[in-house]
Amino acid sequence: MQFEVIAKCHTTRARVSRMKLAHGVTSLPTFMPVATQAAIKGMKILEEAGGAHQFQGWKHNLLTDSGGFQLVSLNKFTKITEEGALFASPFDGAPTMLTAKESISIQHTIGADIIMQLDDVVSSLTVGPRVAEAMWRTIRWLDRCIETHEKSGKHDVQNLFAIVQGGLDHELRDQCLQEMINRKDRVAGYAIGGLSGGEEKDVFWRIIKQCADKLPEDRPRYSMGIGFAEDLLVCVALGVDMADCVFPTRTARFGVALTFNGPLNLRLAKHASDMGPIDETCPCPTCSDGYSRAFLHHNITIETAAAHAVTQHNLVFQARMMGQARNAIIQGTFPDYLKSFFRNYFGDQGYPEWCINALRSVGVDLLESDPSAKTQTGSGAKWERVDTR
């Protein structure tokens, strides 16, 4: 991997960088769509196909996760031991162990450009000694992953990322950061894990800030599971370079289209006879090929084609937003971009208080020079338009 920071915001911690991987150059910050079921049915097929790039016909960069988080979040019978994650095989129910070594070997077979260490993930709502146990185990597993990766001969083309854990505890996060920074010469980048699990947003951004502030300047920083527009832009302002989330694709299947004026619930009756596109300025095939809001409203719950059309639009929305953020950072106008984005996106609803707090911590005041701006009332303020499932 070649990683080069090419522009920095003069006010916030945001930066634009160039990450060169085996399948091309990616400009950061970027949002990465998630393909949980990329039609990958078994490793044997993948090996014969020559890895996931050939299998999916995808010529660009790919990142794979280690499988630990997926096992814990999708399979309630998964048991974590010092050796790895013990789970019942989805094929025959037989007890199967995913070790650090095995996780790296699988990711070598898939052939993604960036691979993730196996980590011991606990919910961000977990408290007590389990959080420290998981953090220290994640460091031990990182060492096993590094060893397997370095011995494999694949470390020239595939890049291993460490995952910072430690829950919502600043002291544990600091210890984890220090241990992982000590291994800097043996990892290509860093992820911030263990967040987006239902914790308070005011706690969430402080952990992101703590990690982004301490992680090395010359390594990409990836916050896992972040996908709401406001979360992404706050993370970018705090110094995050990469993020992924199922949100834009999942919410599309429930009929929610993302726009610069906020999420649009296409299932609402007001769209039933609206012949306009989701967004007139959007270059995506859905908006430019004449799919109307009315068509999508009538078909979203019965027709997979309509769900695909909204999915495509939402991924283009995420890419446009991140592209605009990159341009603004390069042009030195990122603080203004944040203000205008939040104004358009939240409109009359007011800004989430945590966004105001987080952006103030890096020198941007969303409420400044906007007399009409206000904070959302009450902590439980919810948008009728958005469906985050």
Window of 68-76, 128-136, 285-293, 326-334 that interacts with Zn ion by CB under 5 A: 285-293
Per the annotation, the verdict on 244 as an active-site residue is: yes
**Residue 197, helix vs strand vs coil:** coil
Cβ neighbours around 183 below 10 Å, total: 13
Asked whether position 284 contacts Zn ion by CB under 5 A, the answer is yes
Window of 17-25, 45-53, 121-129, 309-317 that interacts with Zn ion by CB under 5 A: 309-317
Per the annotation, the verdict on 65 as an active-site residue is: yes
Asked whether position 287 contacts Zn ion by CB under 5 A, the answer is yes
Asked whether position 122 contacts Zn ion by CB under 5 A, the answer is no
For residues 286 and 318, which CB has a smaller minimum distance to Zn ion in the complex?
A: 286
User: In this structure, which amino acid lies at residue 155?
Assistant: H
Q: What is the nearest approach in angstroms of Zn ion to the Cβ of residue 323?
A: 14
In the block, which residue shows the tokens 């999420």? 263
- Proportion of the chain in helix, strand, coil states, percent, rounded to 5: 45, 15, 40
**Residue 30, helix vs strand vs coil:** strand
Cβ atoms of 296 and 309 within 8 Å: the answer is yes
Asked whether position 293 contacts Zn ion by CB under 5 A, the answer is no
Residue from 15, 137, 313, 326 in contact with Zn ion (CB under 5 A) = 313
For residues 192 and 257, which CB has a smaller minimum distance to Zn ion in the complex?
A: 257
For residues 3 and 254, which CB has a smaller minimum distance to Zn ion in the complex?
A: 254
Q: What is the nearest approach in angstroms of Zn ion to the Cβ of residue 242?
A: 23
> What does DSSP assign to residue 35?
-
Concatenated DSSP letters of 138-192: HHHHHHHHHHHHHHHT-TTTSEEEEEE--TT-HHHHHHHHHHHHHTGGG-SEEEE
d(CA 61, CA 300): 31
Asked whether position 310 contacts Zn ion by CB under 5 A, the answer is no
Asked whether position 132 contacts Zn ion by CB under 5 A, the answer is no
Q: What is the nearest approach in angstroms of Zn ion to the Cβ of residue 311?
A: 11
Binding site for Zn ion (CB under 5 A): 282, 284, 286-287, 313
Question: Which of the residues are catalytic?
Answer: 65, 244
